[in-house]
């Protein structure tokens, strides 16, 4: 009788375990199905870093929430480099139903590779192998100047003059309009005249910069020429407090 009781208990435990696994898989399948079928309108996109949701299309507007890295959202109504973002289950295409707005360069589409060519992954890119950080990175940093240069060999350079040693976080986003983003934290100075630089370059077409006055974080966005593959090489010149991003084309 004791053995029968133990055997019955084991069977019940196994049944409960199988039921739990089935429910878990069903839940995972349902979640995946929600995401896969959600894009009846808009685009399912994911934030590259943790990203604030704003009440308006402006870095100076109030924060209405935050997206975690890799958290899916439905993005639509792109205007002035800002997306309106929605819950992935949102069925009605109505901007009034949006969670808020997210700066477009901070969102990526993971559904497939870029059909027009890749952007940043490089020789050893700044994103994959950043320069060594220093303990002073917790201190405020000023952006004194941003300049663009073309070398004799056709390589293009973005030069950022800081008021001390600093290396930005760099990552690229592929797509029909590829970009390279440099993120600078705890910024004390970023002059308004550096907001947009039309380069006339073959690789870097436009350099845009902006700063969030609440978080003191700044973004420098490089609009790249499409349908090209690039090498991206970072360097820092300590004597001049100059950060350099060298861009060349893969051959």
- For residue 75, the domain's CATH number is 2.30.30.40
Burial of 44 (0-12, 13-18, 19+ CB in 10 A): middle
| Contact call for residues 224 and 119 (beta carbons, < 8 A) | yes
Mean pLDDT over the full length of the chain? 75
Expressed as residue numbers, the domain containing 182 is 135-249
Burial of 152 (0-12, 13-18, 19+ CB in 10 A): exposed
Q: Quick one: tokens of 197?
A: 């630089």
Rounded average pLDDT over 169-194: 84
Q: Would you place residue 105 in the very low, low, confident or very high pLDDT band (cuts 50, 70, 90)?
A: confident
What is the spatial distance between Cα 225 and Cα 139, in angstroms, rounded to a whole number?
Answer: 35
| Torsion angle defined by CA atoms of residues 108, 116, 131 and 243, in that order, rounded to the nearest 10 degrees | -100
Looking at the structure, do residues 143 and 194 belong to the same domain, yes or no? yes
- For residue 191, the domain's CATH number is 2.60.40.3470
For residue 243, the tally of other CB atoms under 10 A from its CB is 25
pLDDT tens by residue, 11-64: 333 334 334 434 444 444 444 444 444 557 888 988 877 888 999 988 778 888
Residue 65 domain flag? yes
Residue 29 domain flag? no
Q: Residue 151 pLDDT more than 90?
A: no
Q: Would you place residue 178 in the very low, low, confident or very high pLDDT band (cuts 50, 70, 90)?
A: confident
Q: What's the structural domain count of the chain?
A: 2
Residue 84 domain flag? yes
What is the spatial distance between Cα 76 and Cα 43, in angstroms, rounded to a whole number?
Answer: 7
Backbone φ/ψ region at 30: left (φ over 0), alpha (ψ -120 to 50), beta? alpha
Q: Residue 1 pLDDT more than 60?
A: no
Q: Quick one: tokens of 113?
A: 């590779």
In sequence order, what are the residues at sequence separation of 6 or more whose Cβ sits closer than 8 angstroms to the Cβ of residue 158?
Answer: 146, 147, 148, 204, 207, 220, 222, 244, 245, 247
């Amino acid at each position: 009788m004791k053995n029968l009781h133990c055997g019955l208990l084991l069977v019940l435990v196994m049944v409960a375990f199988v039921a739990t696994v089935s429910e878990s898989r069903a839940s995972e399948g349902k979640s995946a199905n929600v995401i896969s079928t959600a894009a009846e309108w808009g685009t399912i996109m994911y934030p590259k870093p943790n990203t604030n949701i704003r009440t308006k299309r402006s870095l100076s507007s109030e924060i209405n929430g935050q997206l975690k890295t890799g958290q899916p959202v439905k993005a639509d109504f792109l205007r002035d480099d800002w997306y309106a973002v929605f819950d992935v289950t949102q069925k009605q295409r109505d901007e009034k139903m949006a969670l808020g707005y997210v700066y477009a360069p901070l969102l990526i589409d993971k559904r497939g590779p870029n059909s027009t060519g890749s952007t940043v992954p490089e020789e050893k890119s700044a994103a994959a192998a950043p320069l060594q950080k220093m303990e002073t990175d917790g201190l405020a940093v000023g952006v004194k100047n941003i300049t663009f240069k073309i070398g004799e060999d056709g390589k293009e350079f973005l030069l950022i003059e800081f008021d001390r040693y600093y290396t930005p976080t760099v990552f690229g986003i592929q797509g029909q309009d590829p970009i390279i983003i440099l993120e600078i934290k705890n910024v004390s100075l970023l002059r308004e005249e550096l907001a947009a630089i039309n380069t006339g370059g073959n690789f870097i077409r436009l350099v845009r910069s902006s700063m969030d006055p609440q978080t003191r974080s700044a973004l420098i966005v490089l609009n790249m020429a499409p349908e090209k593959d690039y090498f991206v090489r970072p360097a820092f010149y300590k004597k001049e407090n100059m950060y350099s991003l060298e861009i060349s084309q893969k051959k």
